[in-house]
Structure 1
Amino acid sequence: MGVPAAAAPQLFTPGLAVENQFAAQQQFPAQPDYLNAPQTAQPGFQQQMSAVTDQFGQMGLGAGQKPFALYTTNLLSSPPDPRELLLPPPEIRLPPNSCISPSPYANADPSYQRCTINSVPTTDGLLKKSKLPFGLVLTPYRSLKEGDAPVPLVTDTVIARCRRCRTYINPFVQFIDGGNRWRCTLCMMSNEVPQLFDWDQEKNQPADRWARAELNHSVVEFVAPAEYMVRPPQPLYYCFLIDVSHAAVSSGMVATACRTLLESLDRLSNEDNRTKIAIVCFDVALYFFSMTPDSTDATMLVVSDLDDVYLPKPNDLLVNLSEARASIEALLGRLGEMFQESHSVGSALGPALQAGYKLISSVGGKLVVLSSSLPSLGAGALKNREDPKILGTAKESSLLQPASSFYKTFAIDCSRAQVSVDMFLFSASYQDVATLACLPHYTSGQTYFYPAFNATKSEDAIKFAHEFSQVISMPIMVEAVMRVRATRGLRMASFHGNFFVRSTDLLAMPAVPQDQSYAIEIQIEDTITQPFVVFQTAILHSTCNGERRIRVITLALPTTTNLSEVYASADQVALATLLANKAVERSLSHKLEDARDAIVNKLVELLSTYKSSMTAAGSGASAQLAISENLKMLPVLCLGLLKNVGIRQSAQIPPDLRAYAQALLTSLPSQILVPYIYPTFYSLHNMPPECGTVGEHGLIMPPPLPPTSERLERHGLFLIEDGQTIFLWIGRDAVSQLVMDVFNLPSYDQLRGGKTTLPILDNPFSQRVNAIISKMREMRRGPYWPHLYVVKEDGEPPLRLWALSCLVQDRADMMPSYQQFISQLKDKVNGSSY
């Protein structure tokens, strides 16, 4: 998980904390009284920092060959410290001369590809003994933030691949035979170096092969030659399917969507001026719009036959964005008014999808669906199956499975035709998110959910407009297929994420959005005899401006026969990400209770094995609960996962909210998934004076606190955030000056709780709080725009309970606190020892 630049000074120079604070007090103006509360010390972090200084050799290329030291910690006496989740994963210590490049970018950055274990066991027996899940977590197209290095592009179409296993040349190959051949890292085959590998085609002169990007970078993109194309790169086609029923129009969804799309036309990918766009509206009928390049008029054509959907006109329904711009703008400008008087309450979503498919399936592209109610007419019609009586029971998981086979079958047809579907869902009542999310799931799209959307609340309109605009304007990779290869003896066993598995290991993705994550479980089939193994992910795709490319991501990891090295190299963030994906899958194939049990059982297995193999207690009962230092946050991440809306035990969670949470758990990259299951918690009223101001590495964020209500103070102001929602919690004894400085209100009693936009006031504290909230929204990868809620300590119970449910170290409902959870684990570990 990437460390926010702003946090770097606090993370890596804790010894200077007192000095920095003193210096900061010299630089910053005097603080209001409510900022001078004493800082709470956070134990357990400083002792780690000596280990962290070693980790700057993160890529470990030939350096530091000492074996991993295993540090054991007692979970009963070392409380979780959220700052540990900002540390890099355990370093990758490759044997000397594994890599032919001295480049620091030669091994995969964890934000692109990370493994649950950074020292791979040589045998399946050793892996099974460790009880650690073995898998990869991939985000092949992560967005680039300011300061991120761009992915190098190889433009000469000279692509060296192994003749046998088709691996791409990378920094871990060996050159042999005087540099004329190279040995594949995966299957050891000897291959010829292409003739033009050492030639600069632009300058028509010899080139230095050691400067080639693919020998120095783990993440590289190749411009593909003609043989990588089944057909020439196609233009980009967008078809927007907009619900215009009474619910959609009266909520303001239609007007907001049209305005946002109108303002985003310049941001749609259209560099080659080939992009085409169609707009189809639906309620109890389908409404097509015929647009012509030389006019500002659009003719509406109504199709009311929903059983046999047809296109009412062979052309002018899907139009060139550049040529018909005036007509598209005029239509979007008045679309909201056209259906203003609509009183229809049905939704022909299935027939609308069929119509959109007919429009763009010859080429492929994006179906962007905006729907405000349960589909009720034609193919794919659904019934309300929400039944409060089965919530919280064994039958609840049936509500999380698709109710109709139409959507999965349709999605597979879409995948075959290179059509990807994004769903934006807005219903105030049951909408069957579980069934509708099938479409994005199998077509590598994404689901967005806005329950009870109402555009008269400016916060609702801003959130949807921001996310909708981001999604339709992000660069997308179309007609993609992904394959992960690994050193002989390793096999990709199962795949999690939004795609369709076309053959045993080929993942079909009609369009790959940025910041979407995938998890792959790995099996060890044969004893590995190599000193290190290599995983290589290759994605063949077309860019949105019509260029065929291959993105290649290579990760090399050392092998080991030593169980302590396996434990010392485990990556707790990657493990939590893989467990979240496995839990969702299990809740759908079995029951929600089985998913929760599987998480707890995995932890008990892991802790029991660690105790018997790695501690003096052996198989006897122990007063401690031991785990390696680098895994000490795994139990609290698992507890957060058990308490997440996606799988938590409760009879109060509507199935739509649960299904949406599961869609997030299986698609968010680790950097956003971790706060989603283990929310970030800050104290604002007494944060250090430099927090919220710009430092050398950007905005300085407050130090995170463990998410527990023990840290809440009655006079305080706190911020709780899970990547999807931000809560500003204010204690009932907050002084009037704090309320005035932040909310511009004379007292706590005047303050209203609920969804809000914070004013930016003319005082330093208001500006710092606003800067922290802005930074929080900006630093998470993905298009999400979290709502901000003000929560009063004695305010509305549902809102208070929602905010407190993010404090996952507390006891809630039937779920234990962190201390109780650890005690239960200890009892189970000791119980299984007799």
Structure 2
Amino acid sequence: MASPAQQLPPGWAAEWDPANQRYLFIETASGHRQWEPPAMVPAAPADLVTSGSPPPTHHAKRRQYAAGQTHAYYGDAVAPDPNYGAMQPPPPAGGQLFTPGLAAENQFAQQQQPPQPYYGQQQPAPEYGNVPAYGPGPTAVGGGAVNALTDQFGQMGMGGQKQFQLYTTNLLTSPPDPRELLQPPPEIRLPPNACISPSPHANAHPSYQRSTLNAIPTTSSLLNKAKVPLGLILTPYRSLDEGEEPVPVVTDTVIARCRRCRTYINPYVQFIDGGNRWRCCMCNMSNEVPQLFDWDQVRNQPGDRWSRAELNHAVVEFVAPTEYMVRPPQPAVYVFLIDVSHAAVQSGMVATATRTILENLDRIPDEDGRTKISIICYDTSLYFFSIPPGSADSTMLVVADVEDVFLPKPTDLLVNLVECRQSLETLLGRINGMFQDNMTVGSAMGPALQAGFKLMSHIGGKITVLSSSLPSVGQGALKNREDSKILGTSKESGLLQAASPFYKTFAIECSRAQVSVDMFLFSAAYQDVASLACLPHYTSGQTYYYPGFNAAKSEDAIKFAREFGDVLAMPIMLEAVMRVRASRGLRMASFHGNFFVRSTDLLAMPAVPQDQSYAIEIQIEETITTPFVVLQTAVLHTTCYGERRIRVITLALPTTSNLSEVFASADQVAIATLLANKAVERSLTHKLEDSRDHIFAKLVEVLTTYKTSMTAAGSGASAQLAISENLKMLPVLVLGLLKNVGIRQSAQIPPDIRAYSQALLTSLPSQLLIPYIYPNFYSLHNMPPDAGTVGEQGVIMPPPLPLTSERMERHGLYLIEDGQTMFLWIGRDAVPQLVADVFGLPNYEALRGGKTTLPVIDTPISQRISAVIQKTREMRRGVYYPHLYIVKEDGEQPLRLWALSALVQDRADVLPSYQQFIQTLKDKVGGV
């Protein structure tokens, strides 16, 4: 080794390559690392590292590692060992604390999880096959192959990763293909050695966390040029489908976090200093590895670091030590506020609700036996029930003064579910009978909320409100402000805002006390959903709406009982706060969803239900110089089983300075989800018309930028309307959003229906939101032979059709569904045999339209259609159990128009068809 000319400054470290007589890197005392130092850097001093030695240290080491293992910690900057990565090196004598498991080529992003169809459907058939089954004659095969891909661009990027391939499609000649929405988002292509784990689960699955761009622009100017919104779509507490692995839990309470930015250790950190320290992937800070990180506390022996869940999984939960607790974990608390006014009893809501609670007592989370329950009924008075422990009976206490709410008894109103089980069962069986003849009209919902809050505010938990009428007495009283004259005008957005400040003020008070509110609304008349939805919005709850509910209709009773029962059984995160951290240069700019922003970036969520989604817009504040960035979501919460935990979700994305890579990496589903959230917010802060104009203008900007920057036409006239292949469904998703009840231009939509739709648009995860704005459309009378039968992945679904009535035949039977409602459309020329086989009726004329349950008929087509409908109800996450309506082609006009409004590619009223929409876009873009 050559003798160095100079010594490095005190506290500096370096790795020396004797073969090439140069430093591989220099690390300053402050932890800043310089890769491939310039030639003027002095040669290595004799007392620094020589080839094959561990890195230098300036403190006593706790661990020593075999020669050559340090290559695992330095990635590309270290001269590669030709044998490294082929197999694990043998452990040194006496055993080793952990074994580096870094693969030479990092392919985890491509592997993720076994390929699975998005939105819960089977993989589609290669063509839109139409197999003649029922009908007067042969059916022409529809659809066709997707148009050839064109305009491939040469790629350039950062970090040496595999580049995104950009393909251009012409929207004028490429009609929407719904099978595109079943595809996964653009691949995440990280640079080699970005990850220290070869695990296929080391990057977040899109169902937990997905970005609108899977390659992050290095500068804000590049992002502004692309015009594609940058945002994050989160579903941190999603439910697990059958067969899915649960989120791994780290139980040893050893939690490694960055001292500077508080990032949790994850698969994208670097181990340095012989494994004694780790470098943060967000702020580059050097941190100590905790003493017990390599210790197996279960076996009480040295452990394998590389098998730790947090280094192999992007989604992981830590059992939190006491320093993460303000107080001991509280029990789960459920307070039910049941409207028992005349309207509520007569509709059957009270009977159905109490029976559902009774039947689901065993499903309410109570693993630790600490869950508490209280039931308060209300009309214009409040009715409390005292249940002494060990007693088999209860006492009703009436509070008629609702102006100054108080609890009539300090104890026995909030009781332990296990200890008072018999009394609760008896009470739930009696409530409907108690109020069977109640003629009181009116609702003291506000006072009932205050009473429930007083009862549980010292613990926190969930208030579930079941209401059948407009609040009319006491705090929070509302008036009917439904006015058909202002529907469709600029004043309509006022009906979508809360009419009383009580609900937001009370919601914030609830959030502070860790109380969440769920609303179940049933009124056949105006109920001011916009005001009442404030409570779930700011307390991380959910709104459920059953307009015109009548339990005498079995379909209504079954839908509510199924959904309410699933909500009761749902595990929830209690006392939760969420924060999203990102690599230097990125900032969380604005937040959308059901929560309260406690500080600039801390989201308060008293009780997080499963499958609730959130959207966050991201800004680029300064130039990003790293080859990839990391976004990490942390949710500190108490499980409903009484354990304090931190759920951490990590997503790593490559960076790029190339505009074509920005477009090629764009995720159209995530973009549509973000636009839906922004559209709702803008409709409340501005007007509904502004909301529609804003998302249309955003689409025009994206298409204009693509045309001027990515096509040969540039800024001149063009016969094409070009977009990248991975964004070809974005225009029809935007059209579906523009036609959605939440923001659609119409003077016929009741404000309650519109407000509920907006609540769905801002809380549904992408898997549920996409069919809500672009429904599924299936042909059932001529399904492929295997559709409706059971395959390897369950019931096989028919291939989805484009949403246009051009695909309808007058003798056909079709299913249209958006996750909330299902329509079974039957043509007027349907052959009698089809009607008999599916509905058990002699002919089309005998069939009645409307809400229904399909009869059980022992024919193959009936069994297959029933299987498709059942699969449709079960295939998505969430508690929703959609109604089924039979729609006759010449049946009732309101029902026909409702079903046809789901065919978003058709023209409807003042709303354009897809062809007209695309032509308008072309005119706008062509004029640039």
- Give the TM-score of the pair, scaled to structure 2: 0.86
**How far is the alpha carbon of 1:760 from its aligned partner?**
1.8
Aligned to 1:56: none
Aligned to 2:909: 813
Aligned to 2:708: 612
Does 2:595 align with 1:492? no
Give the SS at the match of 2:518: strand
Aligned to 1:270: 366
Aligned to 2:78: none
2:752 to 650, 656, 663: 656
- Equivalent-residue separation in structure 2 for 1:7 and 1:449 (angstroms): 26
Aligned to 2:336: 240
Q: Which amino acid aligns with 1:601?
A: A
Aligned to 1:345: 441
The 5 A counterparts of 1:41-120 are 41-45=142-146, 65-120=161-216
Does 2:139 align with 1:38? yes
- Equivalent-residue separation in structure 2 for 1:43 and 1:158 (angstroms): 56
Aligned to 1:474: 570
**How far is the alpha carbon of 1:801 from its aligned partner?**
0.1
Does 2:536 align with 1:440? yes
The 5 A counterparts of 1:326-475 are 326-475=422-571
Aligned to 1:283: 379
- Does the C-alpha gap of structure 1 residues 382 and 128 become closer, same or farther in structure 2, counting only changes over 3 Å? same
Q: Which amino acid aligns with 1:72?
A: T
- Equivalent-residue separation in structure 2 for 1:8 and 1:380 (angstroms): 47
**How far is the alpha carbon of 1:247 from its aligned partner?**
0.3
- Equivalent-residue separation in structure 1 for 2:547 and 2:123 (angstroms): 39
1:763-802 deviations in Å (ceiling 9; x for gaps): 1110100000000110111000000000000000000000
For CA contacts below 8 A with separation 6 or more, give which structure has more relative contact order: 1
- Equivalent-residue separation in structure 1 for 2:422 and 2:191 (angstroms): 62
Does 2:307 align with 1:211? yes
CA contact (8 A) 2:465 2:519 kept: yes
Runs of 4+ in 1 over 3 A off after TM superposition: 4-11, 31-39, 44-49
Q: Which amino acid aligns with 1:569?
A: S
**How far is the alpha carbon of 1:146 from its aligned partner?**
1.2
- Equivalent-residue separation in structure 2 for 1:4 and 1:694 (angstroms): 19
- Equivalent-residue separation in structure 2 for 1:768 and 1:760 (angstroms): 11
- Equivalent-residue separation in structure 1 for 2:120 and 2:744 (angstroms): 33
The 5 A counterparts of 1:547-562 are 547-562=643-658
2:690 to 566, 582, 594: 594
1:732 to 802, 825, 828: 828
Does 2:258 align with 1:157? no
Give the SS at the match of 1:242: strand
CA contact (8 A) 1:684 1:719 kept: yes
- Does the C-alpha gap of structure 1 residues 195 and 253 become closer, same or farther in structure 2, counting only changes over 3 Å? same
1:297 to 379, 388, 393: 393
Aligned to 2:718: 622
**How far is the alpha carbon of 1:148 from its aligned partner?**
1.7
- Does the C-alpha gap of structure 1 residues 140 and 403 become closer, same or farther in structure 2, counting only changes over 3 Å? same
2:291 to 195, 219, 224: 195
**How far is the alpha carbon of 1:33 from its aligned partner?**
4.4
- Equivalent-residue separation in structure 2 for 1:150 and 1:46 (angstroms): 40
CA contact (8 A) 1:5 1:697 kept: no
Aligned to 1:716: 812
CA contact (8 A) 1:239 1:367 kept: yes
CA contact (8 A) 1:44 1:81 kept: no
Give the SS at the match of 1:638: helix
Give the SS at the match of 2:507: helix
Q: Which amino acid aligns with 1:40?
A: V
The 5 A counterparts of 1:493-572 are 493-572=589-668
- Equivalent-residue separation in structure 2 for 1:201 and 1:290 (angstroms): 47
Give the SS at the match of 1:267: coil
CA contact (8 A) 2:118 2:767 kept: no
CA contact (8 A) 1:724 1:787 kept: yes
**How far is the alpha carbon of 1:75 from its aligned partner?**
0.3
Q: Which amino acid aligns with 2:873?
A: R
- Equivalent-residue separation in structure 1 for 2:268 and 2:143 (angstroms): 41
Q: Which has the larger radius of gyration?
A: 2
Does 2:233 align with 1:132? no
Aligned to 1:28: none
CA contact (8 A) 1:117 1:566 kept: yes
**How far is the alpha carbon of 1:759 from its aligned partner?**
1.1
**How far is the alpha carbon of 1:346 from its aligned partner?**
0.7
**How far is the alpha carbon of 1:699 from its aligned partner?**
1.1
Aligned to 2:21: none
- Equivalent-residue separation in structure 1 for 2:612 and 2:143 (angstroms): 34
CA contact (8 A) 1:369 1:423 kept: yes
Gaps of 5+ in 1: 26-30, 52-59
- Does the C-alpha gap of structure 1 residues 9 and 404 become closer, same or farther in structure 2, counting only changes over 3 Å? closer
Does 2:777 align with 1:681? yes
**How far is the alpha carbon of 1:37 from its aligned partner?**
4.8
CA contact (8 A) 1:4 1:779 kept: no
Give the SS at the match of 2:495: helix
Q: Which amino acid aligns with 1:10?
A: P
Aligned to 1:751: 847
Give the SS at the match of 2:669: helix
- After superposition, the CA RMSD in angstroms is 1.9
Aligned to 1:55: none
Give the SS at the match of 2:811: coil
Aligned to 2:356: 260
Q: Which amino acid aligns with 2:144?
A: P
Does 2:117 align with 1:3? yes
CA contact (8 A) 2:382 2:398 kept: yes
Give the SS at the match of 1:10: coil
2:863 to 767, 770, 782: 767
Give the SS at the match of 2:642: coil
**How far is the alpha carbon of 1:46 from its aligned partner?**
8.1
- Does the C-alpha gap of structure 1 residues 400 and 677 become closer, same or farther in structure 2, counting only changes over 3 Å? same
Q: Which amino acid aligns with 2:579?
A: R
CA contact (8 A) 2:508 2:596 kept: yes
Give the SS at the match of 1:394: coil
- Does the C-alpha gap of structure 1 residues 740 and 329 become closer, same or farther in structure 2, counting only changes over 3 Å? same
Aligned to 1:573: 669
Aligned to 1:54: none
Gaps of 5+ in 2: 1-114
1:791 to 858, 863, 887: 887
* Larger helix share, 1 or 2: 1
1:575-630 deviations in Å (ceiling 9; x for gaps): 00000000000000000000000011001111111100011111111111000000
- Equivalent-residue separation in structure 1 for 2:755 and 2:138 (angstroms): 42
Q: Which amino acid aligns with 2:204?
A: A
Does 2:742 align with 1:641? no
Q: Report the count of equivalent residues.
A: 809
Give the SS at the match of 1:664: helix
1:287-341 deviations in Å (ceiling 9; x for gaps): 0011122222211111010110000011111111111111110010010010011
**How far is the alpha carbon of 1:48 from its aligned partner?**
7.6
Q: Which amino acid aligns with 1:396?
A: E
- Equivalent-residue separation in structure 1 for 2:218 and 2:402 (angstroms): 59
CA contact (8 A) 1:170 1:554 kept: yes
2:699 to 599, 603, 610: 603
1:467-486 deviations in Å (ceiling 9; x for gaps): 11111110001000000000
- Equivalent-residue separation in structure 2 for 1:765 and 1:281 (angstroms): 47
CA contact (8 A) 2:319 2:646 kept: yes
Q: Which amino acid aligns with 2:406?
A: Y
**How far is the alpha carbon of 1:672 from its aligned partner?**
0.3
Give the SS at the match of 2:362: helix
**How far is the alpha carbon of 1:10 from its aligned partner?**
3.4
- Equivalent-residue separation in structure 1 for 2:438 and 2:789 (angstroms): 50
**How far is the alpha carbon of 1:196 from its aligned partner?**
0.8
- Equivalent-residue separation in structure 2 for 1:583 and 1:182 (angstroms): 42
- Does the C-alpha gap of structure 1 residues 61 and 736 become closer, same or farther in structure 2, counting only changes over 3 Å? farther
- Give the TM-score of the pair, scaled to structure 1: 0.95
